[in-house]
Amino acid sequence: MEPVGSPLTTHVLDTASGLPAQGLLLRLSRLENSNQQWTELRKSYTNADGRCPGLLTSSQLKPGTYKLFFDTGSYWNQMGQTSFYPYVEVKLMGKGLGGSVCVCVQAKKHRGLGGRAPLGCKHLKDRQAPQLSFCPHSLST
């Protein structure tokens, strides 16, 4: 019997608004070893809680490389803001998931650290570019 829920989940939070990031397009793909091409497995939008339930069933999870594509540019455009990153991709190894994995995303405006630009970039010093940070963690082992 297959466990309830997906072995791969996401949670996207918009820290600029303090709310879940609803309506962000997400695509899940798997790298096919035979031709080294990406095959899209699922296209979904985050729900009101910032999640995409049912991305992948346990029977669909095979050893290999998976890619989560977050369409951040469209998300920020629908919020009436300009995006610094048009998209963000996260690649995961399927054989290493070993249970359930949640990829948590925080969407936020970035001013730099301590008033300084990130990595010393003087061009971003005063810019409020929307940015994402990732926190993948295992839900079970």
pLDDT in tens, 38-78: 999 999 999 999 988 888 887 888 888 889 999 988 988 88
Residue 64 contacts residue 95 (beta carbons within 8 Å): yes
Helix H or strand E encompassing 130 = strand 129-138
| 3 state SS of 32 | strand
As a CATH number, domain 8-138 is 2.60.40.180
Question: Residue 51 has what DSSP assignment?
Answer: B
Q: Identify the pLDDT of residue 12.
A: 85
User: Which portions of the chain are predicted below pLDDT 70?
Assistant: 1-5, 94-141
Q: Identify the pLDDT of residue 1.
A: 37
Domain ranges of the chain: 8-138
Q: Identify the pLDDT of residue 105.
A: 63
Q: Identify the pLDDT of residue 96.
A: 53
Burial 46-66 (b: 16+ CB within 10 A, else e): beeebbbeebbeeeebeeeeb
**With a threshold of 0.75, does the pTM exceed it?**
no
27 to 14, 32, 65, 74: CA distances (angstroms)? 19, 16, 14, 13
Q: Identify the pLDDT of residue 27.
A: 96
> Other C-beta atoms within 10 Å of 7: how many?
21
